[in-house]
């Protein structure tokens, strides 16, 4: 486990720990150490600080600060975060590397992408390879994808408009590259996808244009 | 109106879920123009039906960040800060104890908490902030304690006990040490098996005398008498004061004895 993953996981454990105990307690600590012995040190250090924070008195000389001042201080931090992102141009200059590629850049597996967009893994793959006819893709699906991979609607739409691609892992015995069949209609793909949860299928099909 | 689901999973593998009321509030807020939504978000009466919960505000900030509407992001952030900044700051005031001016320490810790909070909210490339949309207050409390943890070591290094000229060294009888090294109850009720209510009362009573005890005795004392931590345990998997400080039980007992003597003298002086 790399350092970033471990840090995120301990944060999850600490969130759950604080959620379970209304205040610092030795009993809660022992239970949680038994549950997560690999985080014994972090849980113990955290609990000791929690205990001190609850018990140590405020200094008589401590300065009272009004809410307005605190909000201004907090906003300077928020603006730093926003400015830093704008300067780094997150997502603006980097070229779009496909649905799966962008999902991977966000640390999302294909399953997570599917869950986040209310699509199936099969549909996500088809969209990534542009095997779905662009004109049939509802705006909501494009919006969901944009949200999930933290890119703009237009960037995702531009990608999906492109030519279909073959799977990188597929091998062929033919002398020349096989041709891809016509892109599939989105709603037809939804209807035929047995892996898509029924609730999601109904939601997508509700957006289908009426059959003539 | 589609609300984007959470994707982060807890340690048991289940995806985090927002409360129904939060989902309803998000759904409603997304139907409003941004000016009307901000007006609604400004409502501070949390008991009223129109109040938008913090979990909802987190979603809205992320949604507007995706749209790239910085003005709205800043307004919502300001509203969220107005709700929680006093809570954050008040919870860090314990960092202001000790000799010298620690207002800078409190300020830095405050900024750390805000930074940790908004880094998670603004990070659209990951779902590490998902729990903020489930239990905002819990995450905020965790951030507060973590910030305290980072700065308390600095505090303890600078901590000197308030001067107490009548305190004299306790001349210990070496034979007594072997008998007494597990006990630490001079002037205090027996702590074993105290109810949580009694522990809370003890902590309250402790507060006023803690400035007279220097570190690390003070932390050992708080853990022992405020939270019923054992000095040592037979089971090595269980936490203890001795294990936390990596000192022998005898050393911990001496620390506690010294702290208790200080308190005893203080009490006698005050009566």
Is the four-CA dihedral A167, A168, A172, A175 of positive or negative sign? positive
pTM of the entire predicted model = 0.74
| B88 or B163, higher pLDDT | B88
Whose CA is closest to A60, among B129, B231, B207, B39? B207
Q: Do B110 and A37 touch (CB under 8 A)?
A: no
Interface check for B129 against chain A (CB to CB < 8 A): the answer is no
B57 touches A at CB < 8 Å: no
Q: How far apart are CA B143 and CA A93, in angstroms?
A: 33
Q: Hey, are the CB atoms on A108 and B7 less than 8 Å from each other?
A: yes
Where is average pLDDT lowest: B79-88, B198-207, B221-230, B240-249?
B198-207
Q: Which of A14, A108, A116 sits opposite B4 (nearest CB)?
A: A116
In this predicted structure, the answer to whether residue B184 has a pLDDT above a threshold of 60 is no
Confidence of residue B102 (pLDDT cuts 50, 70, 90): low
Answer yes or no: are the C-beta atoms of A115 and B7 closer than 8 Å.
Answer: yes
A210 pLDDT band (50/70/90 cuts)? confident
- Tell me, yes or no, if B5 comes closer than 8 A to chain A by beta carbon: yes
Q: Is the pLDDT of residue B231 over 80?
A: yes
Q: What is the DSSP letter of B14?
A: P
Residues from chain B that touch A207, judged by Cβ atoms under 8 A, are: none
pLDDT given at position A19: 93
The tokens describing A88, both together, are: 């780094």
> Which pLDDT value is given to residue B189?
37
* Residue A37: Cβ within 10 Å count: 10
Cβ contact B125:B166 at 8 Å = no
Q: How many CA atoms does the CB half-sphere of A21 hold within 13 Å? A: 22
Residue pLDDT, tens place only, A139-184: 889 988 988 888 878 889 999 998 888 765 555 555 555 556 788 9
What is the helix (H) or strand (E) element at residue A161, kind and residue range?
Answer: none
Write the pLDDT tens digit of every residue in A89-130. 654 556 788 999 998 887 788 998 998 899 999 999 999 999
B33-78 pLDDT, tens digit per residue, is 999 999 999 999 999 999 999 999 999 999 999 888 899 999 999 9
State residue A63's pLDDT score: 73
Contact B219 A78 (CB under 8 A): no
- Chain A and chain B share a number of CB contacts under 8 A equal to 188
Nearest to B213 by CA among B143, B175, B162, B254: B162
Contacts of A192 (CB under 8 A, 6+ apart): none
Half-sphere exposure of B226 (CA within 13 A, CB side): 24
B-contacting residues in A 104-123 (Cβ below 8 Å):
105-108, 112, 115-116, 118
Q: Rg of the Cα trace of chain A?
A: 25
Torsion sign over Cα B21, B24, B30, B31 = negative
| Phi, psi (deg, nearest 5) at residue A132 | -110, 135
Cβ pair A53:B228 closer than 8 A: no
> Which residue from B106, B114, B207 is facing A57, i.e. has the nearest CB?
B207
Instruction: Check pLDDT > 60 for residue A22.
Output: yes
Is A65 in Cβ contact with B138 (below 8 Å)? no
Residue B167 above 70 pLDDT? no
Name residue, tokens 């600590």: A29
> What average pLDDT does this structure show over B130-150?
94
- pLDDT greater than 50 at residue B176: no
pLDDT over 60 (residue B203): yes
**C-alpha count within 13 angstroms, C-beta hemisphere, residue B9:** 10
Which residue of A lies nearest to B79 if distances are taken between CA atoms? A71
B26 close to B60: Cβ distance less than 8 angstroms: yes
What residues contact residue B174 under an 8 Å CB cut-off, 6+ apart? Answer: none
d(CA A199, CA B264): 69
Q: Which of B152-156, B255-259, B266-270 has the lowest mean pLDDT?
A: B152-156
Instruction: Say whether pLDDT at B187 is over 70.
Output: no
What pLDDT is stored for residue A94 in this prediction?
Answer: 65
- Mean pLDDT on B159-171: 40
């Amino acid at each position: 486990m790399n350092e970033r993953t471990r840090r995120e996981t301990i944060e999850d454990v600490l969130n759950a720990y604080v959620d379970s105990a209304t205040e610092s307690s030795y009993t809660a600590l022992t239970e949680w150490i038994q549950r997560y012995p690999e985080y014994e040190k972090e849980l113990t250090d955290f609990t000791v600080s929690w205990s001190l924070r609850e018990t140590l008195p405020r200094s008589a000389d401590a300065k009272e600060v009004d809410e307005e001042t605190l909000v201004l201080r907090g906003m300077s931090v928020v603006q730093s975060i926003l400015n830093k992102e704008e300067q780094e141009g997150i997502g603006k200059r980097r070229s779009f590397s496909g649905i799966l590629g962008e999902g991977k850049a966000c640390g999302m597996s294909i399953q997570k992408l599917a869950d986040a967009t209310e699509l199936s893994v099969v549909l996500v793959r088809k969209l990534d390879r542009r095997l779905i006819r662009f004109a049939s893709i509802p705006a909501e699906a494009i919006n969901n994808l944009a949200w999930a991979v933290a890119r703009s609607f237009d960037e995702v739409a531009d990608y999906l408009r492109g030519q279909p691609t073959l799977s990188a892992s597929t091998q062929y015995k033919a002398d020349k590259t096989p041709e891809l069949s016509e892109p599939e209609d989105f709603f037809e793909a939804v209807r035929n996808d047995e892996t898509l949860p029924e609730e999601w299928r109904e939601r997508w099909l509700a957006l289908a244009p009426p059959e003539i | 109106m589609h609300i984007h689901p959470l994707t982060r999973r807890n340690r048991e593998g289940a995806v985090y879920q927002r409360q129904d009321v939060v989902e309803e509030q998000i759904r409603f807020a997304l139907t409003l123009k941004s000016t009307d939504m901000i007006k609604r978000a400004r409502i501070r009466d949390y008991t009223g039906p129109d109040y938008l919960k913090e979990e909802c505000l987190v979603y809205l900030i992320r949604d507007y960040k995706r749209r790239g509407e910085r003005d709205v992001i800043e307004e919502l952030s300001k509203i969220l800060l107005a709700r929680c900044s006093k809570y954050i700051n008040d919870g860090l005031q314990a960092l202001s104890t000790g000799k010298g001016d620690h207002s800078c320490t409190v300020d830095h810790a405050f900024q750390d908490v805000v930074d940790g909070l908004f880094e998670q909210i603004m990070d659209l490339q990951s779902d590490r902030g998902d729990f903020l949309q489930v239990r905002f207050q819990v995450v905020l409390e965790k951030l507060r304690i973590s910030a305290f943890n980072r700065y308390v070591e600095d505090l303890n290094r600078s901590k000197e006990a308030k001067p107490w000229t009548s305190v004299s060294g306790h001349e210990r009888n070496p034979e007594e040490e072997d008998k007494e090294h597990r006990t630490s109850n001079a002037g205090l009720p027996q702590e074993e098996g105290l109810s949580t209510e009694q522990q809370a009362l003890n902590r309250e009573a402790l507060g006023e005398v803690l400035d007279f005890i220097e570190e690390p005795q003070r932390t050992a004392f708080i853990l022992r008498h405020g939270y019923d931590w054992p000095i040592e345990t037979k089971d090595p998997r269980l936490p203890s004061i001795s294990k936390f400080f990596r000192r022998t039980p005898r050393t911990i007992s001496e620390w506690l004895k010294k702290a208790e003597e200080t308190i005893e003298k203080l009490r006698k002086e005050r009566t």
